[in-house]
């Protein structure tokens, strides 16, 4: 491996995986909750909330990065509070990169989970109810397992997209080697440097392999689940 | 006693029914599709909320809008067998069966896993997944799953409607066994009168969200409102009787009904067994003298109670045969020619052959379980 890739490339690769993992790990439970609220709850302002959740899909990523900078910067309202209370600094840090990718990939995740939830037969939940299962019990034993394929699909899609997130990351946390320089940022840096063409090509191939692997894994898992459910 | 009174308005439909039925027993909610049967059971189960009303089972109030009390559906302990089974696709058959049982821990286990598996013949299916089952097997599993949740009341919403005739005949005996072996009150929703005939002890007749008749199956079978739902050819009294003699060589059984004796073809009858017989009005012949030298062997003496209008050229004659009442469809011309009128003495003749498919095991008396 060390002969195949340079230390910088390995750094960028590992950092990308770390950022994407943290991003998916923290946003997944929230995405399930938001998908549930958007599908099942009826409240005034639902449409506005729905639009707000999907905003990162249509905004320029740089704009999202800028908003994050305003809110989570060390002098921003949330950023200052986090720093004072927990000593947590998000700007120019890996955690910040994870936050930026999480915000950008959140709509993708919510969409996949929401479709899965809409396809869960509510009659099965009603049946569980007559069998003595309360609301949380029903969610954990019926709804959640049946929407699992969608959750996994959403997580894998979000993970793959997180590996490639560029605009929001570079705006919010800048391009620091070993800290925030993920694959796409390294690729960008290589293209900008004189004589970096070969490095850029290698990084592009790595991105390609990663993306393809993710999509194949997701499809394989979905098939396995469908077979188990007999569909 | 099961006491139900419900009001529910939905877009384009309003339900307003009240009925009382003895427990345990099988209450059949009978009526055409869309008459409010499923809404009624969903309200009783707690899957829908009534605008107004109550449901009480023996001494327990399931809900009462006036008193503001309601047990949530998940704690109501009402087993529900849906038309489409609704087995959980991500559990095996055994997992489905145990789902309700696990949640009934701490409740007295009146029916155990092994008993249900035995009663419903589920042993070969336990490891399978729901999608590997036939329609009839699915309904048996759904039935077992509901029973293992230790219900105080079992609701069956057209459990056989999605099955073909062969599968229906496969499941029906299990339902009869359930009725006779467990003293569990049941509400059976159906739009097929032959299912009601085989299973019900009490019938509630619904039409367009309103109750049109209720009572024992014997009583309701005589009600004119039934005709509109089952059609004129299916009109006929349902009567319970006792097998008094079995002629195995000829495959004939004698059934005591009122003061008369009915001969029916039956190979597996047992002396002393209670049977339920449907006399289709169109299959009955009336005679004003004791018949002699004809091929019909069953004749029961009776007295005409009433003569009602039927189709354009026929009358429906109610004959008391010593307790039970049967209906006979006779042409108006015959009524005039024989001078039939209330109080006339007549003999009711029934062809044994016409009783095929109209003789069933009667529900056991509550005390006999």
Following DSSP, what letter does each residue of B18-34 receive, concatenated? EEEE-SSSEEEEE-STT
The strand pairing partners of B285, in sequence order, are B349
Residue B283: both structure tokens together: 């299959």
CA-CA distance, B360 to B369, in Å (whole number)? 18
* Chain A hits for B139, Cβ within 8 Å: none
Q: Which DSSP letter does residue A140 get?
A: I
Give the model confidence (pLDDT) of B221-268 as tens digits.
Answer: 999 888 888 888 889 999 888 888 888 888 888 888 888 888 887 767
Could you please state the CATH topology (level 3) that the domain comprising B236-368 is classified under.
OB fold (Dihydrolipoamide Acetyltransferase, E2P) (2.40.50)
Closest to B277 measured CA to CA, from B330, B317, B315, B241: B241
Query: In which band, very low, low, confident or very high, does the pLDDT at B367 lie, cut at 50, 70 and 90?
Result: very low
Query: In which band, very low, low, confident or very high, does the pLDDT at B273 lie, cut at 50, 70 and 90?
Result: confident
Query: In which band, very low, low, confident or very high, does the pLDDT at A231 lie, cut at 50, 70 and 90?
Result: low
* Chain B hits for A121, Cβ within 8 Å: 86
Q: Is A133 on the interface with B (CB under 8 A)?
A: yes
- Could you give the angle at which helices A197-229 and A183-192 cross, rounded to 10 degrees? 160
Give the model confidence (pLDDT) of A38-70 as tens digits.
Answer: 998 888 989 999 999 999 999 999 999 999 999
**Shortest distance, CA A212 to any CA of chain B (angstroms):** 29
Residue B278: both structure tokens together: 């449907």
Residue A101: both structure tokens together: 């990718």
Q: Is A2 on the interface with B (CB under 8 A)?
A: no
pLDDT of A230 above 80: no
Contact B199, B159 (CB under 8 A): no
Q: Give the model's pLDDT for residue A58.
A: 92
SS3 per-residue string spanning B245-259: EEECCCCEEEEEECC
Give the model confidence (pLDDT) of B7-36 as tens digits.
Answer: 999 888 899 999 999 888 899 999 988 888
CA-CA distance, A71 to A93, in Å (whole number)? 15
Query: In which band, very low, low, confident or very high, does the pLDDT at A130 lie, cut at 50, 70 and 90?
Result: very high
Q: Is A136 on the interface with B (CB under 8 A)?
A: no
Residues on B contacting A at a C-beta cutoff of 8 Å: 45-47, 72-80, 82, 84, 86, 88-90, 99-100, 103-104, 129-132, 145-146, 149
SS3 for A121? coil
Query: In which band, very low, low, confident or very high, does the pLDDT at B52 lie, cut at 50, 70 and 90?
Result: very high
Contact A62, A168 (CB under 8 A): yes
Residue B157: both structure tokens together: 């919403």
Give the model confidence (pLDDT) of B69-79 as tens digits.
Answer: 999 999 999 99
Q: Give the model's pLDDT for residue A4.
A: 74
Say whether B149 and A132 touch across the interface (CB within 8 A): yes
Instruction: Say what percent of chain B tops pLDDT 90.
Output: 48
Query: In 10 A of CB A4, how many CB atoms?
Result: 9
Number of residue pairs across A and B with CB atoms under 8 Å? 66
Q: Give the model's pLDDT for residue B64.
A: 94
Residues sharing a CB contact under 8 Å with residue B17, sequence separation 6 or more, in sequence order: B4, B5, B6, B36, B40, B204, B206, B209, B210, B211
* Chain B hits for A120, Cβ within 8 Å: none
CA-CA distance, B8 to B41, in Å (whole number)? 12
**Shortest distance, CA B268 to any CA of chain A (angstroms):** 38
The nearest alpha carbon in chain B to A133 belongs to B74
b/e map B170-185, b = 16+ CB within 10 Å: bbbebbbebbeebebb
pLDDT of B368 above 60: no
Q: Say how far residue A42 (Cα) sits from the centre of its chain.
A: 26
Q: Where are the domains of chain A?
A: 15-181
Instruction: Say what percent of chain A tops pLDDT 70.
Output: 97
Query: In which band, very low, low, confident or very high, does the pLDDT at B354 lie, cut at 50, 70 and 90?
Result: confident
Give the model confidence (pLDDT) of B308-321 as tens digits.
Answer: 988 889 999 999 99
Q: Give the model's pLDDT for residue A1.
A: 46
**Shortest distance, CA A30 to any CA of chain B (angstroms):** 24
Query: In which band, very low, low, confident or very high, does the pLDDT at A16 lie, cut at 50, 70 and 90?
Result: very high
- Pairing status of strand B260-265 against strand B252-257: antiparallel
Q: Among A129, A137, A146, whose Cβ lies nearest the Cβ of B90? A: A146
Say whether B86 and A124 touch across the interface (CB within 8 A): yes
Residues sharing a CB contact under 8 Å with residue A168, sequence separation 6 or more, in sequence order: A56, A61, A62, A64, A65, A68, A100, A101, A103, A104
Check if B2-230 and B236-368 are the same fold.
no
Residues sharing a CB contact under 8 Å with residue B48, sequence separation 6 or more, in sequence order: B8, B39, B42
Q: Where are the domains of chain B?
A: 2-230, 236-368
Task: Indicate the range of A11-25, B46-60, B145-159, B162-176 predicted with least confidence.
Answer: B162-176
Say whether B74 and A121 touch across the interface (CB within 8 A): no
Query: In 10 A of CB A24, how many CB atoms?
Result: 24
Could you please state the CATH topology (level 3) that the domain comprising B2-230 is classified under.
Rossmann fold (3.40.50)
* Structural Rg of chain B based on CA atoms: 22
Contact A190, A63 (CB under 8 A): no
CATH-assigned architecture of domain A15-181: Orthogonal Bundle (1.10)
**Shortest distance, CA A68 to any CA of chain B (angstroms):** 41
Contact A230, B131 (CB under 8 A): yes
The mean pLDDT of B280-293, rounded to a whole number, is 87
Closest to B35 measured CA to CA, from B209, B235, B162: B209
Residue A75, judged by CB atoms within 10 A of its CB (0-12, 13-18, 19+), counts as exposed
Q: Among A130, A137, A229, whose Cβ lies nearest the Cβ of B90? A: A229
Q: Among A133, A141, A230, whose Cβ lies nearest the Cβ of B74? A: A133
Closest to B135 measured CA to CA, from B162, B110, B107: B162
The nearest alpha carbon in chain A to B82 belongs to A127
Say whether A133 and B104 touch across the interface (CB within 8 A): no
pLDDT of B65 above 90: yes
Q: What ipTM does the predicted assembly reach?
A: 0.85
């Amino acid at each position: 491996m060390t002969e195949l890739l340079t230390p910088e490339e390995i750094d960028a690769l590992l950092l990308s995986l770390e950022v994407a993992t943290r991003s998916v790990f923290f946003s997944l439970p929230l995405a399930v909750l938001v998908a549930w609220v958007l599908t099942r709850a009826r409240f005034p302002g639902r449409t506005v909330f729905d639009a707000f959740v999907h905003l990162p899909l249509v905004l320029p990523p740089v704009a999202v990065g800028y908003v994050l900078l305003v809110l989570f910067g060390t002098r921003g309202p949330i950023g200052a509070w986090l720093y004072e209370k927990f000593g947590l600094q998000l700007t120019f840090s890996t955690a910040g990169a994870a936050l930026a990718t999480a915000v950008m990939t959140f709509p993708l995740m919510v969409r996949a989970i929401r479709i899965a939830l809409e396809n869960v037969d509510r009659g099965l939940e009603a049946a569980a109810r007559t069998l003595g299962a309360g609301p949380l019990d029903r969610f954990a034993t019926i709804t959640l397992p049946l929407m699992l394929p969608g959750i996994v699909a959403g997580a894998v899609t979000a993970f793959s997209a997180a590996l490639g997130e560029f605009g929001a990351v570079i705006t919010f946390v800048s391009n620091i080697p070993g800290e925030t320089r993920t694959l796409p940022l390294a690729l960008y840096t290589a293209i900008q440097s004189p004589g970096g063409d070969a490095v850029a090509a290698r990084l592009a191939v790595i991105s390609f392999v990663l993306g393809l692997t993710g999509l194949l894994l997701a499809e394989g898992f979905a098939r396995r689940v469908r077979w188990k459910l007999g569909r | 006693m099961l006491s139900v009174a419900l009001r529910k308005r939905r877009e384009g439909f309003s339900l307003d029914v009240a009925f009382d039925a003895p427990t345990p027993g099988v209450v059949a909610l009978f009526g055409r599709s869309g008459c409010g049967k499923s809404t009624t059971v969903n309200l009783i189960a707690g899957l829908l909320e009534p605008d107004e009303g109550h449901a009480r089972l023996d001494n327990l109030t399931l809900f009462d809008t006036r008193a503001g009390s309601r047990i949530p559906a998940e704690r109501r302990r009402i087993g529900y067998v849906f038309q489409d089974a609704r087995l959980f696709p991500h559990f095996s058959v055994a997992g489905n069966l145990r789902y309700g049982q696990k949640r009934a821990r701490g409740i007295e286990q009146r029916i155990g896993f092994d008993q249900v598996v035995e009663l419903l013949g589920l042993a070969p299916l336990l490891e399978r997944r729901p999608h590997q089952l036939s329609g009839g097997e699915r309904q048996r599993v759904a039935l077992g799953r509901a029973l293992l949740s230790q219900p105080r009341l079992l609701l069956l919403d057209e459990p056989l409607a999605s099955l073909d005739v062969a599968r229906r005949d496969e499941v029906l005996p299990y339902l009869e066994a359930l009725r006779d072996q467990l003293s569990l009150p049941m509400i059976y929703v159906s739009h097929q009168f032959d299912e009601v005939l085989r299973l019900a002890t009490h019938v509630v007749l619904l039409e367009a969200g309103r109750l049109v008749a209720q009572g024992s199956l014997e009583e309701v079978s005589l009600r004119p409102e039934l005709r509109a739902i089952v059609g004129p050819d299916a009109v006929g009294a349902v009567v319970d009787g006792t097998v008094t003699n079995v002629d195995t060589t000829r495959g004939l059984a004698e059934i005591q009904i009122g003061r008369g004796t009915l001969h029916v073809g039956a190979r597996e009858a047992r002396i002393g067994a209670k049977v339920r017989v449907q006399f289709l009005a169109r299959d009955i012949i009336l005679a004003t003298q004791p018949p002699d030298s004809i091929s019909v062997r069953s004749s029961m003496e009776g007295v005409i109670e009433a003569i009602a209008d039927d189709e354009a050229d026929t009358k429906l004659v109610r004959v008391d045969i010593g307790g039970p009442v049967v209906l006979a469809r006779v042409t108006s011309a015959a009524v005039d020619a024989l001078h039939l009128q209330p109080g006339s003495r007549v003999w009711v003749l029934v062809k044994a052959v016409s009783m095929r498919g109209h003789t069933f095991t009667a529900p056991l008396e509550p005390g006999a379980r």
